[in-house]
Amino acid sequence: MELSELQIKKFALILLLGYFLRWVNIGIGYVIIGLVSIWLWARKKQNKERSQKSAQQEERKPDPLAASQVPFGDIEMLVRSDTEEKRKGALKKILAELWPYIAMYLKKLLKDRIEPQVRSKHSMLASFHFTLINFGNNAPEVTSVRTHKNPDKKQIILDIDISYHGDVKVEMALRKDKIKLGIDGVKLEGTLQIILEPLLDEIPFVGAVTVYFPRRPDLHINWTGLAQVLELQGLHTLSDKKIMDAIAKYIVLPNHMTIPLKAGINVEDLYYKVHRNVIRIFILEAKELIAQDFLTGKSDPYVVVHCGGRTEKTKVINRNLNPCWNEMFEMSFSDLPGQEIEFEIYDSDLEKDDFLGICQISLEEVMKEGSIDTWLPLKNVPSGKLHVRLDSLSLVSHPQQLELVNQSCSPPQSEAFSSAFLFVFIERAKGLQLKERDKNPSAKAEIKVCNSVQKTNICPNTKEPVWKETFTFFIKNPYKDTVELKVEDKHNGLMGSISVPVFALLTAENLTTDDWYRLSSSVGEPAVQMRLQLRILASPSAIPHLESPRTSSSTITPAARPKKKRRFRRLQCLNCGRWCI
C-alpha cells in the first residue's frame, strides 16, 4: 500500500506529538489511547486498500504498518523523560521507524513536483527525468531538543537540531538517457522548528502542526556525472546552493508545511499563515571589507538580502573596500517566530563570486524597535561591517490616511517607495469551460500587479476549481495600479480574464471587496470568487499624527491626491559624504 502524502505527514507528526504532551500535563493513558486508535485506523485502511488492489506493485515498498508498530515504550519514554538525553534517545528511535515513510514522501515530492518544475525551467531540460530515487536507511540524528511554551497563544514550539549523513542515491538523465548525473550521499545539518497550535483538551490534543527550518540548513551533496551536465547551456549554475534554494521554497522560513490534525480546523485561519508585516530595508554602505582581487588589492562588492522568502541584490560597486550603495528594498513576512533578515556580501567575479561576509538581524527585534539604524559586523571573515537601516511599517485600514502617509513618510525619490499593500484571496471559480465541452479543464489562476506575477496551484479535471490561496503585492500607486487576473487551462491556455483597478478599494468598506467577478471569455460565463484587501503602509512615527478613522462614506478620489512637497529623514554616508535615501 502506498501512503498518500497527507497520511505520511499526519502519521509522522502524531507520533512526535507525544513529546509535547508532557508540557501540557496530559496523561500517558490518553496518548496510548490515541496511538491505539491510529493503529486500528491504519490496519483498517490497509485491509480495505489491499482488497481493492488487483495488480502487483512495480517495486517492493515497506510494510505500511511498520510506522504504527513503533514501540509504546519509546513513546512513553518520550513523554515521561525529564532529561534532554532521554528525549533525544526516544526521538532517535521514532525517527528510525518513520524514516521509510518519510523517504516515500520525499520520493513522491521529487517525481510529482520537482521533476515537472525542472523540465519547465529551460528547453534544454525538457527531457529531464529521475531514473533512480533511493533515500537509503540512515535516518537523521537528533543532536539537541529545546521546548518553548506560550500559554497565551495556546501553542508549543519545539526546536530540534538534526544532523543527517544520508546514504542517498539519486540518478537523473537527459536526452534519452544519453546524459546522466546523480547524487551519491547527502549531508544536512540544521534546526527544525515545530509549532503545535491550537492546543485542545481532547484527542488529538492539537489542531494543527507546522514544520519548518527557521534558517537554511547546511547542505552538502556528493554529485556524480556532473562534468557532462555542466557543458550544457543553462545548467552551469547547478550547485548545492541552487538545490538548497529549491528546498527553501517548501520548508525554509517563511515557507512551511502545516498539517491539520483535527477535523474542522482551517489552517488558513492560523495567525501566521499570511504576510501581515512589512519592512523597508536600506542598504547604505560597508567598510573595511577584505580584498579578493590580489592584483588591485580591492573587491567589487554587492549585497544579497534574504527575507520573507524573497531575495534581493544591490548593484556592484567596482574596486572599493568601503562601498556606498544607498539602495532600498521592501519585503513582507508572516508572524512565524524565529525569522531573520540575512545579508550576504560577495565580490563580483567573472568565474565565481567570492564571499566577503555575512550578517543577520532578528525580525522580532526590528518589529519591537520600529526603526533600527546600525552597523552589523560581518561573520566568517577577518574584517568588515555593513551599515543598514530597517523601518517596520504598520498596515493602516483607513483611506483618508493615504495622503497623510505620503506627506510625512515619502522621500523625494518617492517612486521607489510603495504606499500600500494588497492582499488577494483567490477562493474558487465556476462555469469554466473548454471549447471541447466534453472535457473538464485543469485550471490555475494567475494574478499580476505591476511587474509581480503569482500563480495558484492547478486544480485538475474540474469546472469548479477550489484554490483557497492568498497572495500579497506591494502597491506603489493605488490610483494607477490594477489587479489583472486570468484563468488558464494546463493544456489549452486562457479561459477567462478580468482587470480590477486598485483605486476602487479606496471607496470600499474597510478597503475590502469580497465578490464573484465575471471573467471575459469566448466560452460560457466563467467567474472567480475573490477577496481584495488594501492596507496603507505607514511608519510607526507617522501613526500618532494620522487623522482618526472616519466612516466609509468619506472617500478619496484620484483628483484628491496631495501635491505638497514631501518630507523624509535623510542620512549622510560616512564613506563618501553623499546623502543617502
Kindly state whether residue 238 falls inside one of the protein's structural domains. yes
Same domain, yes or no, for 158 and 42?
A: yes
pLDDT exceeds cutoff 60 at 564: no
In angstroms, what CA-CA distances link 260 with 15, 35, 427?
14, 17, 19
Q: Where are the beta strands (DSSP E) in 264-339?
A: 277-287, 301-307, 310-313, 324-333
Per-residue confidence at 319, pLDDT binned at 50, 70, 90? very high
pLDDT, tens only, 26-54: 444 444 444 444 554 555 555 555 555 54
Residue ending a domain, choose from 243, 265, 287:
265
Query: Residue 301 — very low, low, confident or very high, per pLDDT cuts 50/70/90?
Result: very high
Among 16-25, 177-186, 367-376, 382-391, the least confident range: 16-25
What's the pLDDT score for residue 229? 55
What is the per-residue pLDDT for 211?
A: 84
**Range with top average pLDDT, 3-12, 119-128, 297-306, 399-408:** 297-306
∠ at Cα 254 (257, 356), nearest 5°? 130
Mean pLDDT of all residues in 526-539: 91
Tell me if 343 sits within 8 A of 380, measured CB to CB. Answer: no
More confident residue, 152 or 570: 152
Does the pLDDT of residue 360 top 90, yes or no? yes
> Residue 150: which pLDDT band, with cuts at 50, 70 and 90?
low
Average pLDDT (197-221) is: 79
Look up the domain containing 205 and give its range: 5-50+60-265
Rounded CA separation 281/203 (Å) = 44
Distance, in Å, from the CA atom of 297 to the CA atom of 288, rounded to the nearest integer, reads: 12
Q: What is the predicted pLDDT for the residue at 50?
A: 54
Same domain, yes or no, for 374 and 431? Answer: no
Instruction: Give SS3 for 315.
Output: coil
**Which of 205, 235, 265 is the endpoint of a domain?**
265
Q: Is the pLDDT of residue 17 over 50?
A: yes
The answer to whether 553 touches 415, Cβ cutoff 8 Å, is: no
Look at residue 327 in the predicted model and tell me its pLDDT: 94
**What is the pLDDT at residue 416?**
72
Same domain, 252 and 314: no
545 within domain boundaries: no
Residue 558, preceding bond cis, omega within 30 degrees? Answer: no
In terms of domains, do 243 and 216 share one?
yes
**0.85 exceeded by the pTM?**
no
Residue 116 has pLDDT above 80, yes or no: yes
Percent of the chain topping pLDDT 90: 27
- 447-502: pLDDT as tens digits: 999 889 999 988 988 999 999 888 999 998 898 999 999 999 988 889 999 999 99
Q: Is residue 177 part of a domain?
A: yes
More confident residue, 202 or 442: 442
Residues 439 and 524 in one domain: yes
For residue 8, the model assigns a pLDDT of: 54
Residue with C-alpha cell 501581515? 276
| Cα–Cα separations (whole angstroms), residue 387 to 81, 320, 322, 325, 375 | 46, 15, 11, 10, 4
Arithmetic mean of pLDDT, 375-390:
96
pLDDT computed for residue 547 by the predictor:
41
**223 and 291 assigned to the same domain:** no
Based on the domain organization, do 153 and 220 belong to the same domain?
yes
Query: Can you give the CATH number for the domain in which 424 is found?
Result: 2.60.40.150
pLDDT at 522 over 70: yes
pLDDT for the residue 287: 96
Residue 565 lies in a domain: no
Cβ atoms within 10 Å of 561's Cβ, excluding its own:
13
Instruction: Tell me which of 104 and 568 has the higher pLDDT.
Output: 104
Mean pLDDT over 258-276 rounds to 69
List, as one string, the DSSP characters of 326-361.
Answer: EEEEEEEE-S-TT-EEEEEEEE--SS-PEEEEEEEE
How many structural domains is the chain composed of?
3
Q: Which tens digit of pLDDT belongs to each residue from 210-228?
A: 888 888 888 888 878 764 4
3-state secondary structure of 81: coil
Domain check: are 139 and 44 in the same one?
A: yes
**Can you give the pLDDT at residue 19?**
46
Does residue 245 surpass a pLDDT of 80? no
pLDDT at residue 364 tops 60: yes
Yes or no: say if 156 and 112 are a contact pair by the CB < 8 Å rule.
no
**389: how many CB neighbours lie within 10 A of its CB?**
18
Question: Which pLDDT score, from 0 to 100, does residue 145 have?
Answer: 80
Residue 398 lies in a domain: no
Do 445 and 311 fall within a single domain?
Answer: no
Look at residue 217 and tell me if it is in a domain.
yes
Does residue 261 contact residue 252 with C-beta atoms inside 8 Å?
A: no
**Per-residue confidence (pLDDT) for residue 5, from 0 to 100:** 54
Q: Does residue 140 carry a pLDDT above 90?
A: no
Q: Are residues 179 and 283 in the same domain?
A: no
**pLDDT for residue 81 is more than 60:** no
Q: Is the pLDDT of residue 523 over 90?
A: no
The 3-state DSSP class for residue 219 equals strand
Who wins on pLDDT, 271 or 344?
344
Look at residue 352 and tell me whether its pLDDT is greater than 60: yes
Q: Which of 352, 377, 392 is the last residue of a domain?
A: 392
Least confident of 343-347, 348-352, 421-425, 553-557: 553-557
The secondary element (H helix, E strand) that includes residue 116 is: helix 115-121
pLDDT attached to residue 578: 54
Residue bearing the bigger pLDDT, 368 or 58: 368
Q: Are residue 261 and residue 282 in the same domain, yes or no?
A: no
Give the residue from 380, 332, 321, 391 showing the smallest Cα distance to 355. 380
- Grid cell, residue 399, equals 483611506
Give the three cell numbers for residue 579: 546623502
Q: Is position 186 within any domain?
A: yes
* In-domain check, residue 226: yes
Q: Is residue 24 scored above 90 in pLDDT?
A: no
Does one domain contain both 135 and 218? Answer: yes
